[in-house]
Every structure is written in C-alpha cells, then in structure tokens.
Homo-oligomer: A and B are copies of this chain.
Amino acid sequence: MTRLVQRILPSPLGPLRLVASDLALVGIYFPEHRPAPAHAGEDAEHPPVLDLAARELDEYFAGRRRRFTVALDPRGTEFQRAVWRALAAIEFGEQRSYADLARQIGQPTAVRAVGAANGRNPLSIVLPCHRVVASSGALTGYAGGLAAKQWLLAHEQRLAGA
C-alpha cells in the first residue's frame, strides 16, 4: 500500500512512463499502452529506484546494456508472476515461443494463458515479453504496438551479432 510515483522517460520508442513504489519498479508503459494501465500518483519526489531504472533503460537503448539490475515488483496473479519469471530468463537477443514458456513453467498446455499473461506484463522491455513470438516465428502482438516489438528485436539482433 505504499504510494506510487512516476516519471516520464524519453526513448526511441516514444516517452515511456515509469512507475515505482518506494522500493521497486512496478511498471513501464508505452504512450498508447494496451490494455491501459491504472493511473499512478503524482511525481512529487523521485525515489532512487526510478532514477536507476531510467539510467539502465537509457543504457539499453544506447546499446550499452543487456541485463537490468533495478529491483522489480511486477504485480499480478501467481500464474502471471510465474510466466514473468520465465520471461526474465530469456537472454538478450534470444527468442522463445509461447509454447516454450508454457513448458518452462510446467504447464505445457497452458499456451494460450501464457499469451494472455504475456500481454499483461507490466514491465515492458525489462521483462522482455518482446522476445516471445509465435511458434511459427511470426510476431503476434505487443502492448506498445507491433512496430515497437519489431524495433526492439531488430535492436537486439543488431547488437547480439557484434
């Protein structure tokens, strides 16, 4: 029940809205995020975690960071958190299918539910839901729009080779 504060961070994908509690990052949202996230409190004072998140994201976009260290507190159901935990294990530049994730959390048939949980990921980019594509390899959806997903994958692809 701690207060939430937010901060807007410019990025190549448009202004990102970072939301944090006193202790951890709680959300990263695109300008036209879908589904629209709940409104956060005013940004009176910036807790340190918010500044750290902004710095790491800047580095990520600049190609100088592949993993994030900022404390996270993704809020959701038990199942969703399990999916998001699995997300965190996908390395920079890699890709997985929704079926892969389902297997990984021990519920190989819950493919569709994994897709839904993926769509509710509150920590875009940091929890790399953009690295999950259909088994066929097709891009299927993204909270920030498919263009953003494609941009992120290309960005990582470019750097992964180097």
Residue positions of A touching B, CB distance < 8 A: 1-4, 41
Chain B residues lying within 8 Å of A1, measured Cβ to Cβ, are 1, 3-4, 41
Q: Which residue of B lies closest to A3 (CB)?
A: B1
Please give the count of copies of this chain that the complex contains: 2
Q: Main SS of chain A's interface residues? A: loop
Q: Which residue of B lies closest to A4 (CB)?
A: B1
Q: Which residue of B lies closest to A2 (CB)?
A: B3
Question: Chain B residues with Cβ under 8 A from A41's Cβ?
Answer: 1
Please give, as numbers and ranges, the residues of chain B lying within 8 Å of A2 by CB-CB distance. Answer: 3
Write 6 A-B pairs (CB below 8 A) sorted by A numbering.
A1-B1, A1-B3, A1-B4, A1-B41, A2-B3, A3-B3
Instruction: State the Cβ distance, A116 to closest chain B Cβ, in Å.
Output: 26
Minimum CB–CB distance for A22 against chain B, Å: 10
A117–chain B nearest beta-carbon distance, Å: 25
Question: Min CB distance, A14 to chain B, in Å?
Answer: 27
Closest 6 CB pairs of A and B: A1-B3, A1-B1, A2-B3, A1-B41, A1-B4, A3-B3
**Chain B nearest Cβ from A75, distance in angstroms:** 13
